[in-house]
Amino acid sequence: MDSSCKAFRVMAGCFGPGLERTWLTELAAAEVGVSLTFVESRTSLNGHARMFRPGVVLLPLRDASGMPSAPLIARLHEDLPNVRLLVVLAPGTMRVGIGEAIRAGAEPAIVNGAAELSAVLRYCRPMTRMVKEPGMGGPTAGLPATAGAPACTGPRSMLITKM
């Protein structure tokens, strides 16, 4: 991967077996320009998020043991207010606790497959803006503004780690 093209960091935490985990695995195999880190431990998720500084943290509404994610979301939101927190839900999933998760700082992402999850992540990525040079009539191609990273055009750049 080109060193000027940084992967968008995504952290997925506390997903047990189920559709959402399957979609994350499919996403890991197909997505370009995303560094996906799985964190299984509820107690270490906050520390890993502070260390890796992902752009997005994906969480289930309830973790693998059935515990609600809202308290974890609240801690993440307090410690990392600039990180987007998404609760990934499959259609038909019980929505008990979604209000608490939203109040804690999460955004719901109701998706039906890896392709839709990929589209959600593309929406969450920082955008590269074209900047105008003084005296120029239009945008100058190839000069990204500081708001985002350049688009990745190289080979697949998915990095999967399990913590």
What's the pLDDT tens digit per position in 72-103? Answer: 999 999 999 999 999 998 888 888 899 999 99
Query: Residue 57: what residue type?
Result: V
* Domain assignment present for 1: no
CATH of the domain at 58: 3.40.50.2300
Both tokens of 82, joined, read 């600039």
* Domain assignment present for 26: yes
CA 48 – CA 3 distance, rounded (Å): 23
Query: Residue 3: what residue type?
Result: S
* Domain assignment present for 2: no
Statement: residue 21 has pLDDT above 90:
no
CA 151 – CA 126 distance, rounded (Å): 10
- pTM of the model as a whole: 0.73
Determine the structural domain holding residue 38 and report its residue range: 8-162
* Domain assignment present for 3: no
- The whole-number pLDDT of residue 123 equals 85
Mean of the per-residue pLDDT values for the chain?
76
- The whole-number pLDDT of residue 72 equals 94
| Nearest CA among 76, 79, 124, 80 for reference residue 104 | 76
* Domain assignment present for 28: yes
Domain count, the chain: 1
